[in-house]
Chains A and B, each alone.
Chain A
Amino acid sequence: MMTLNNVIMITGKAVTLALFAPLVSGIIRKIKDTLRMRKGQSIFQPYYNIRKLFSKNEVISGNVSWIFYAAPVIIFVSTACALFMILMAQPGPDMKNGLAVLIAAFFVLGLGRFFLALAGLDAGSSFGGMGSSREMFISSFAEPAAFIAAFVLFMGGGNCFKISGLLAGIAIFMVTIAETSRIPIDNQETHLELTMVHEAMVLEYSGRSLALIELAAHIKQIVFFTLISWYFFSVLTLGCWSWLLFSAEIVFIGLIVALIEISVAKMRLFRVVDFLSFSFFIALVASIAAGLGL
Chain B
Amino acid sequence: MINFLPKQLFLLDPLAIFFLAVIGLVCIPSAIFSIGYMREEPLKKKVLAWALLMVFVLSMCSVVTAGNLFSFLIFWELMSLASYFLVVFDYKHEKSINAGTIYLIMTHAGTACLMAAFFILYNYAHSFDYMAVRHAVVLLSPQMRNIVFLLLLVGFSTKAGVVPLHIWLPYAHPQAPSHVSSIMSGVMIKIAIYGMIRFFVTLLGPGPAWWGAAILVLGMISCLVGVIYALMDHDLKKLLAYHSVENIGIILLGVGAAMFFASLSIVPVAALSMCAGLYHLVNHALFKGLLFLCSGSVFKATGLRNIEKMGGLIKAMPMTAFFFLIGAMGISALPPLNGFVSEWLTFQAFFLGILQSPGAIKIFMVVSAAVLALTSGLAAACFVKAFGITFLAMPRSKRAQEAREADSSMKAGMALMAAGVVLFGLGAGFAAPLIFNISQSVLGIQATQISFHLVSIIPPAIAAFLLVLGGVIFLWFKFGLRTRQVQYNTWDCGYYALDSRNEYTATAFSKPFRIAFGFFLLPYRKSEKIRDSFYHIRKFTYETHTTLVFKRYFYEPLARMIYGAAFKMRKLQPGSIHLYILYIFITLVTLLALATVF
Contacts and interface: CB of A to CB of B under 8 A. Distances in A.
Direct contact of A and B (CB under 8 A): yes
Interface of A: 1, 54-63, 65-67, 73-74, 76-78, 80-81, 84, 95-97, 99-101, 103-104, 107-108, 110-111, 113-114, 117-118, 120-130, 132-134, 136-137, 139-144, 146-148, 151, 154-155, 203-204, 207-208, 212, 269-270, 273, 280, 284, 287-288, 290-291
A207 B385 CA distance: 27
B384 A114 contact: yes
Contacts of A122: 388, 392-393
A239 B39 CA distance: 71
B490 A132 contact: no
B517 to A, nearest CB: 9
B314 A110 contact: no
28 contacts: A55-B483, A58-B486, A59-B487, A63-B394, A73-B470, A95-B355, A97-B454, A100-B348, A101-B454, A101-B458, A107-B344, A110-B334, A117-B381, A121-B388, A122-B388, A123-B491, A124-B311, A124-B392, A124-B393, A130-B504, A132-B388, A137-B513, A143-B377, A147-B369, A147-B370, A148-B369, A208-B481, A288-B363
A204 B393 CA distance: 13
Given A108-B462, A133-B508, A148 B370 contact: yes
A203 B354 contact: no
B351 A137 contact: no
Given A122-B393, A208-B483, A287-B362, A133 B512 contact: yes
Given A96-B351, A140-B377, A141-B374, A204 B369 contact: no
B487 A151 contact: no
B509 A129 contact: yes
- Interface extent on B, as a size class? 35 or more
Contact of B374 (A74, A99, A128, A143): A143
A270 B511 CA distance: 11
Nearest to B492: A125
A118 B392 contact: yes
Q: Which 6 A-B pairs have the closest CB atoms?
A: A129-B504, A140-B377, A121-B388, A124-B393, A136-B381, A143-B377
A73 B474 contact: yes
B516 A273 contact: yes
A176 B168 CA distance: 41
A290 B362 CA distance: 9
B359 interface: yes
B331 to A, nearest CB: 11
A104 to B, nearest CB: 5
B542 interface: no
Contacts, number: 246
A58 B162 CA distance: 50
Contacts of B392: 65, 67, 118, 121-122, 124
Contacts of A74: 466, 470
A57 B389 contact: no
B473 interface: yes
Interface stretch (B25-33, B80-88, B495-503): B495-503
A118 B454 contact: no
B232 to A, nearest CB: 13
B423 interface: no
A143 B376 contact: yes
Nearest to B466: A77
Contacts of A118: 384, 387-388, 392
Interface string B354-374: 110001101100110111011
Contact of B473 (A73, A104, A125, A126): A73
Contacts of B311: 124
Most chain B CB atoms below 10 A, which of A117, A204, A284: A117
Contacts of B370: 144, 147-148, 280, 284
B490 A99 contact: no
Contacts of A73: 470, 473-474, 477
Contact of B335 (A57, A108, A121, A127): A108
A118 B477 CA distance: 21
Contacts of A108: 335, 462
B50 interface: no
Contact of A113 (B321, B340, B380, B483): B380
Contacts of A54: 481, 483
Contacts of A291: 359-360, 362-363
A56 B482 CA distance: 9
A150 B272 CA distance: 20
B485 interface: yes
Contact of B380 (A58, A114, A288): A114
Contacts of B394: 63, 124
Contact of A77 (B362, B385, B470, B516): B470
Contact of B367 (A95, A101, A133, A284): A284
Nearest to A56: B483
Interface string B505-531: 100111111011000000000000000
A149 B508 CA distance: 32
A125 B505 CA distance: 11
Given A117-B388, A129-B503, A130-B504, A63 B393 contact: yes
B315 interface: yes
A99 B366 CA distance: 14
Contact of B512 (A60, A80, A137, A204): A137
Contact of B466 (A78, A95, A99, A280): A78
Nearest to A292: B359
